[in-house]
Amino acid sequence: MTDKEAILARHAVRNYTGKTIEPEKVSLIRRKIEELNSEGGLNLQLIEDAGKTYNKLMNMAMGLGSAPSVIACVGKDAPDLDERVGYYGEKLVLFLQQIGLNTCWAGTFNRKNIGAEVADGERLVISIALGYGKDSGRERKSKTPDQVTEGRADRPEWFEEGIRMALLAPTAINQQKFVIRLNDDDTVDFIDKGGIYSKVDLGIVKCHFEIGSGIKINV
């Protein structure tokens, strides 16, 4: 499964079976996390036993309390931390999809119970629930390409494909509060329109756009 195929196949999953993740897959995940942490200057952490991470009423109502494991998205506090967490965290999410696991980005969780190691100067940004879903999730409503683009009207195919993948990016409460502008010199600007976790969302959007367009995006 390619990254693009993973984008097309993946949906947020909030209800999980009781099956734990096999040791061989845990090893693959830890190696991938080490790679992404090195690239992104992050401290993403796999916590095999999610324990009471998702014991808040909202999580229980959504079904996330059944998630067996969790990724704690941690990094040294910086203005661009949230965006890097989104970009590299989504790379991890797509990798997890490729090895047969389901995921859900979750901003609401029990920070005291997650069991993450957060050093002085670091910040826990968000969590990613993972495990084997009871289903594969479902498609959600989306904005149209015209609603999230600005700039030149003659959009090349690479840009259109980038937008198509960007519109499949998970965003907090499905807000899709971003705009992607195509400039006259073929450069691309990403605009954050604000909102809860919008900087994390923008990182995720950049990851998807990069995969769709084949154009390297700076994060």
Task: Note whether 124 and 176 are same-domain residues.
Answer: no
Each residue's pLDDT tens digit, 116-129: 999 999 999 999 99
DSSP H helical ranges for the chain: 3-9, 23-40, 57-62, 81-98, 157-166, 198-213
Is 90 a domain residue?
yes
Task: Note whether 103 and 152 are same-domain residues.
Answer: no
The number of residues in the chain equals: 219
Tokens of 44: 């993403």
In this structure, are strands 178-182 and 149-151 parallel, antiparallel, or unpaired? parallel
**Residue 53 backbone dihedrals phi, psi, to 5 degrees:** -55, -40
d(CA 89, CA 150): 27
Each residue's pLDDT tens digit, 133-168: 999 888 888 999 999 999 988 999 999 999 999 999
Q: Indicate whether 60 pLDDT > 80.
A: no
Residue 212 corresponds to which amino acid? Answer: G
Among candidate residues 131, 154, 188, the one where a domain is terminated: 131
Task: Note whether 114 and 208 are same-domain residues.
Answer: no
Is 18 a domain residue?
yes
Find where tokens 């790379």 sit: 91
Q: Is the pTM of this model over 0.85?
A: yes
pLDDT for res 64: 86
Task: Note whether 23 and 108 are same-domain residues.
Answer: yes
Among candidate residues 101, 131, 161, the one where a domain is terminated: 131
Task: Note whether 52 and 111 are same-domain residues.
Answer: yes
User: How many CB atoms lie under 10 A from the CB of residue 187?
Assistant: 10
Q: How many domains does the chain have?
A: 2
Is 164 a domain residue?
yes
Task: Note whether 46 and 69 are same-domain residues.
Answer: yes
Is 109 a domain residue?
yes
From the list 217, 155, 145, the residue with the least C-alpha distance to 178 is 145
Q: Indicate whether 61 pLDDT > 80.
A: no
d(CA 117, CA 142): 36
Region 12-28 average pLDDT: 95
- What sign has the CA pseudo-torsion 194, 110, 65, 207? positive
Is 219 a domain residue?
no
Number of helices (H) and strands (E) in the chain: give both, helices first.
6, 7
d(CA 137, CA 163): 22
CATH of the domain at 53: 3.40.109.10
Is 218 a domain residue?
no
Is 189 a domain residue?
yes
Task: Note whether 30 and 119 are same-domain residues.
Answer: yes
Is 137 a domain residue?
no
Helix (H, G, I), strand (E, B) or coil at 150: strand
From the list 130, 126, 122, 131, the residue with the least C-alpha distance to 43 is 122
Among candidate residues 131, 162, 195, the one where a domain is terminated: 131
Task: Note whether 92 and 30 are same-domain residues.
Answer: yes
**Residue 103 backbone dihedrals phi, psi, to 5 degrees:** -145, 165
Tokens of 164: 């198509």
Range of the structural domain that residue 66 is part of = 3-131
Paired with 69 in beta bridges are 130
In this structure, are strands 102-106 and 188-192 parallel, antiparallel, or unpaired? unpaired
Q: Taking all residues of the chain, what is their mean pLDDT, rounded to a whole number?
A: 95
